[in-house]
Every structure is written in C-alpha cells, then in structure tokens.
C-alpha cells in the first residue's frame, strides 16, 4: 500500500512537470546560458510548488482549495505579470552580456533568484490544483488524506517525480551547451522570451473569464 501511494505521487509529479510550459522554457534557457545548476534550481522551484499543491489536495485543506478556485483571476494575473517580467529579464540579461563580452567576467544570475522565480510562477497557477483533483479521481487516491502518513508519502512522491523530471531536463540541455556558441544562445534567449510573453499574455487574457 505504501509503495503504491509513493508511485501514485511519483506519477502525479511527472504528469504535472512534463508538459511543455513556461517553467520548462526557463529551465532549458537558463541551463544553456548559465549552466546545469541554474536549470536544476529553476526546476526545483516548480517541484516545491507542485508538492505544496499536492499537500493541499492530499490533506484535504478545503478552505485553501476553495480560496484558490475563487481567486483564479488574481492568480492568473499575477502569473501573467511574472511571465512578462521574466521575458523582459531574459532579453535584458542577454543584451547586457553582449555589451560586456569584452569586459572581464560576465555576471552570473543568482541560484536563489532562479528558484524563487519559478516557485512563484508555479504556485500562482491554479490549474495545478484542478489537475491534482482530476488525477486523484483517475488513480483512485481520493482517500489518501484519511491518513497523515499516507498523505505525506504522496506529497513526497510528487516532489520526487517532479524533481526527477527537472533534473533530466537540465542534464539533457546541459549536454547541448558546449555546442552552442554566442549566436545560438542569443537566439535561444529571444525564442524563450517570445514563448514566455505568449504564456504571459494568455494568462492575462484568460484571467478575465474567472
């Protein structure tokens, strides 16, 4: 029974992390421009947010669940603004590096900032809470909250599944890093910023319907 709960949580984590989204874009872009640890910490920020949502669902904190559903519009608006700011930062950082390429060592972004930015991005996404509810019903885990130990095991599984995905993504992107010169990285930054802007605009537009 314990093994099954952890496996369910692991599946939850993978399902939440695997779809291509803004956090995945940031994870790849930061790995290519800054290094594997920056991509990994970006992913871990989202993994912690997923685990928190898993805890809310598993422990049946109905008041928090209702608050999240009732405030979808505000959360989507905040998430959209964060995405647009991250897109702007991606372009500005790349521009500053181009200007500084002949002036000593380039600035390296803070690992803590990478973690916090993706955590905020993931925690303001109310769709995660709704996805958890659907997964709980689909995999028959609706009674896991009856036991504190079982709920904790599920949350642990969610974190491991999500974190493993981000580790694999950062590791894979890092393999390509030596083969990308400054020109390629510039285009990676531009494409990443464009995708983030698209997600941000979508979040802001859909916020009006909640």
Asked whether the beta carbons of 106 and 34 are under 8 A apart, the reply is no
Q: What is the pLDDT of residues 16-63, one digit of tens each?
A: 787 767 888 888 888 888 888 999 999 999 999 988 887 877 776 666
CB atoms within 10 A of CB 110: 12
**Residues 47-106: pLDDT tens digits?**
999 888 878 777 766 666 677 767 778 888 888 888 788 888 777 765 555 544 443 343
pLDDT in tens, 105-122: 434 468 888 999 899 888
What is the number of alpha carbons within 13 Å of residue 70 lying toward its C-beta?
6
What domain range includes position 101? 2-209
Please state the domain count of the chain.
1
The pLDDT of residue 63: 63
- The Cα–Cα gap between 127 and 125 comes to 5
Q: How confident is the model at residue 4 (pLDDT cuts 50, 70, 90)?
A: confident
Q: Is residue 184 predicted with pLDDT exceeding 70? A: no
Is the model's pLDDT at 133 over the cut of 90?
no
Q: Is the pTM of this model over 0.85?
A: no
């Amino acid at each position: 029974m314990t093994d099954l709960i952890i496996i369910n949580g692991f599946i939850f984590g993978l399902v939440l992390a695997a779809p291509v989204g803004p956090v995945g874009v940031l994870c790849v872009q930061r790995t290519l421009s800054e290094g594997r640890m920056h991509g990994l910490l970006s992913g871990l920020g989202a993994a912690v947010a997923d685990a928190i949502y898993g805890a809310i669902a598993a422990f049946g904190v109905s008041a928090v669940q209702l608050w999240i559903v009732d405030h979808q519009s505000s959360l989507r608006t905040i998430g959209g603004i964060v995405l647009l700011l991250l897109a702007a930062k991606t372009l500005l950082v790349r521009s500053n590096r181009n200007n500084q390429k002949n002036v000593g060592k380039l600035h390296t972004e803070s690992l803590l900032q990478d973690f916090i930015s993706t955590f905020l991005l993931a925690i303001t996404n109310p769709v995660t809470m709704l996805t958890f509810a659907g997964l709980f019903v689909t995999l028959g885990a609706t009674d896991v909250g009856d036991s504190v130990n079982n709920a904790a095991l599920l949350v642990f599984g969610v974190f491991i599944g999500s974190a493993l995905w981000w580790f694999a993504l950062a590791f894979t992107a890092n393999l390509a890093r030596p083969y990308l010169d400054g020109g390629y990285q510039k285009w990676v930054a531009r494409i990443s910023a464009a995708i983030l802007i698209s997600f941000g605009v979508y979040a802001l537009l859909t916020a009006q319907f909640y």
